[in-house]
Amino acid sequence: MNPFLECLTALAPEIIVVSTALIVLLADLAMAGGKPVARRAGLAGAITCLGCALAMAWAGLMPCSAHVAMLAVSPVTQWLKLTLLLLTIFAAALSWGGRFTRHVGEYFALLLLAAAGLMLLVSSDNLLLIFVALELLSVSLYALAAFDKSSAASAEAALKYLLFGGMSAAFTLYGISLIYGITGDLQLGYIAARLRGQPAEPVFYAGLVMTLIGFAFKLAAAPFHLWAPDVYEGAPTPVASFIASGSKVASFFVLARILLTAFPAARGTAAASDYQAGWVPVLAALAAVSMVAGNVAAIVQSNVKRLLAYSAIAHAGYALLALVADARHTLAALLFYTITYAFTVLGAFAVVAVMEQSGRRGNLADFEGLGRRAPVLSFCMLVFMLSLAGIPPLAGFFGKFYLFVAAAAAAPPLSLLWLVVLAVAASAVSLYYYLQVLKQIYAVAPSPTAAWPRPALSAQAAIVLLAGIVIVLGCAPDLLLGKITDLLRSHPF
């Protein structure tokens, strides 16, 4: 086939999403004259969801396995795009009832562009294109974070996100340039071939570590997490939910892909008994620090969005365990974990978004007595919190369990037990702060004067659906895990 045509078919889902973004802009422009914001938001949201669904249909129905130019599309990445698009649809459903902006067309268009960035990110195996995709995603998210113009916190969040994000992009780019200088290539497979059998140079390690630092910013792994709490708290809640979910899944996947494809020679080990330099010990340190710092800092938070931010830092630490372990075998655990985490955290943010639409903030005190006024919403929040804490039979429990088993089983067996013990201990601590939220909801009496949320139908449906997903995947993890392992077995990257 013509290589251009092949590129176009491989990129069809991305093209659909970008076109949808343009259509949303045009449609909103056409309607802008005096129509109420709610109607415009309805239209833009509907087009967004429709476009995403169309892209999903294409990605799901048209089997595609192409390795052309800078693209590496396989059933695994197609399937991952499905998941990312689903997360985007959920984030769009939350934005529907949000009253934080009048510029709905631009908002949904940026959301779609961010989604396109995510999809491009997972379908490339070239460091340059990965960087471009990362920037497409990041720039869209900076703008989205600033979208609530009436709130100073939103502006602050966006500025912080931009400064930290820009810094991390600089690190990544510089790291990539060093790696390019050593190996003379940007294609992941070629880099691995160049590095094989060659004694590693210090400059190469500098480049590797800089790239890792860039990704650590993106993943909000401690000690590069400082932006996360402010951004999660200040950004409009649907945007924060998108940053916490979709962006996490894609970043972890691409990080795994880079490290496993390009740098298997520079692995090193983090085993307690025999230490070797490489990216594994770096990630092990990041994981350990993130788990401890995230969980400890979360204990004292009084705002649920900040609490979720610190919990996200801790969860990034757990997920890094999969990369520290023998990562080819633990990739399934990593994907299962990040995807179920994405659904859960999206649900938790959705509940906060609904609370905000009723004129409250996301403070812990605002949740007082929610259990009696909005039983369905509260039950869903219960599911999300307990899943994050890792209580069975919810998805978060099995995700963690499987991850820990994979980490403990990494060859030589039990060599990473210290990290597993740390992770288990950290997650025991985490129950405390998740229970604080639930205590407010169920055990504290509601104040009689407070306004109570009447969630929009779209948000309510999204929340219930997400809670359902979390429960079902917890009770029958094989539904998702079986799919992931099958895909990875037949198409390793």
Partner 1 sequence: MLAWTIYISFLGAAALMFLPGGNARLARIIALLAALGGLACAAAGVAQCARHAGPGALTDVVNWPWIAELGVRFHLAADGISLVLVLLTGIAAVAGVLFSWNVEERCREFFALYLALIGGVYGVFLSFDLFLLFVFYELAIIPKYFLIAIWGSTDREYGAMKLALYSFVGSAMVLVGLIAAYVVSGAKSFEWVDLARGPYPAAFQYWAFPVVFVGFAILAGLWPFHTWAPTGHVAAPTAASMLLAGVVMKLGAYGALRVAMTLFPIGLHAWQDTMAALAVVGIVYGALVALVQQDFKFVIGYSSVSHMGFVLLGLMTLTQIGFSGAVLQMFSHGIIAGLLFAVVGRMVYDRTHTRDLAQLQPMNLHQVLPFAATTFIIAGAASAGFPGFSGFVAELQVLVGAWKSFPWLAVLAAAGVLVGIAYTWRVLLKAFFAEGAVDRRDLPRLEPISAPERAGALLLLGTTVIIGLWPGLLLGLIAPALDSPLLQPLWKGGAR
Rounded Cα distance, 380 and 13, in Å: 32
Tell me whether residue 203 or residue 417 sits nearer to partner 1 (CB atom): 417
Tokens representing 176 are 């990539």
Residue placing its CB nearer to partner 1 in the complex, 205 or 401: 401
Q: Which residues of 101-130 are buried (b: 16+ CB within 10 A; e: fewer)?
A: bebbbbbbbbbbbbbbbbbbbbbbbbbebb
Please state, in angstroms and as integers, the Cα–Cα distance from residue 172 to each residue in 44, 206, 330, 382, 385, following that order: 35, 11, 25, 38, 34
Nearer Cβ to partner 1 (201/478): 478
CB of 477 to partner 1, least distance (A): 6
Identity of the residue numbered 471: I
216 vs 380, beta carbon nearer partner 1: 380
Q: How far is the CB of 383 from partner 1 (least distance, A)?
A: 11
Q: How far from 267 is each of 259, 310, 318, 323, CA to CA, in Å?
A: 8, 28, 19, 10
Angle at CA of residue 134, ends 128 and 139, nearest 5°: 125
User: Which residue number, 207 or 371, has a Cβ lying nearer to partner 1?
Assistant: 371
Q: How far apart are CA 349 and CA 390, in angstroms?
A: 18
Question: Token digits for 473?
Answer: 């995947």
In the complex, the smallest distance separating the C-beta of residue 432 from partner 1, rounded to whole angstroms, is 6
Query: By C-beta, is 180 or 379 nearer to partner 1?
Result: 379
Closest approach of Cβ 485 to partner 1, in Å?
A: 6
Task: Please report how close the Cβ of residue 491 comes to partner 1 at its closest, in angstroms.
Answer: 18
| Count of C-beta atoms within a 10 Å radius of residue 145 | 29
Sign, Cα dihedral of 121, 127, 131, 133: negative
Buried b (16+ CB within 10 A) or exposed e, 276-289: eebbbbbbbbbbbb
Closest CB 372 distance from partner 1, rounded Å: 8
User: Is 265 or 435 the residue whose CB approaches partner 1 more closely?
Assistant: 435
In whole angstroms, the minimum distance from the beta carbon of 461 to partner 1 comes to 19
Supply angle C-alpha 132, 138, 143, rounded to 5: 130
Note the residues at the interface with partner 1 (CB under 8 A).
Answer: 332, 386, 391-393, 397-398, 401-402, 404-405, 408-409, 413-414, 417, 420-421, 424-425, 427-428, 431-432, 435, 438-439, 442-443, 477-478, 481-482, 485
Q: Which helix (H) or strand (E) holds 270?
A: strand 269-270
Q: Identify which of residues 115 and 377 has a Cβ nearer to partner 1 in the complex.
A: 377
The smaller minimum CB distance to partner 1, of residues 67 and 439, is found at 439
Contact 40, 106 (CB under 8 A): no
Q: What minimum distance in Å lies between the beta carbon of 476 and partner 1?
A: 8
**Shortest approach of partner 1 to residue 478 CB, angstroms?**
6
Task: For the CB of residue 235, give the shortest distance to partner 1 in the complex, in Å.
Answer: 31
Query: In terms of CB distance, is 10 or 325 closer to partner 1?
Result: 325
CA dist., res. 184 & res. 177, Å (int): 10
Tell me the two tokens of residue 315. 């969860």
Q: What angle do CA 223, 226, 229 make, to 5 degrees?
A: 130
